Chain A
């Protein structure tokens, strides 16, 4: 299994749709996980951190299943501005200063 593996995408959804991205990781010892958002030709920016079973921030919900080594990101009521690439990230070290990124899943929200 690759260290971090994501749905290949792309996901093309209308405004208002709910969309979910999946991610699996290989290191069962990992304690924290992240979702980053990357706009075209820009740097990645932290969207959410996940330290326990899950995290919710407005329209965004991240869930963690340690037994299955699986993380998901749910976006409700999609907006045009949600169009971006979403990167699943697992730290290589405990301090989280070296990160392993998935290839990313591209989301395109249309009106």
Chain B
């Protein structure tokens, strides 16, 4: 079992819809959770961090964390074609550095 798992996609949504990206992790002791956006050929850009159970909203983005079920999700409201990218989930387990999932590719159709 991978430490951080994401569906590779592509996840295709129409413009204006809500995109829902999911991530599960295996280490119950995980402390910090992050979502990155990576455009093709570019480096990852941090878009959300979440540390405690519940929802955290920032503009069109909402991160949701459920430690009991060991999943973290990212909702993107009013999706735009410019949101088309690969979204990486990253988890800090307290050991070394962040552990990254392999990413979900999102396509927003105009």
A and B co-occur in one complex:
no
- Enumerate chain B interface residues (CB-CB to A < 8 A): none
Interface residues of A (CB under 8 A from B): none
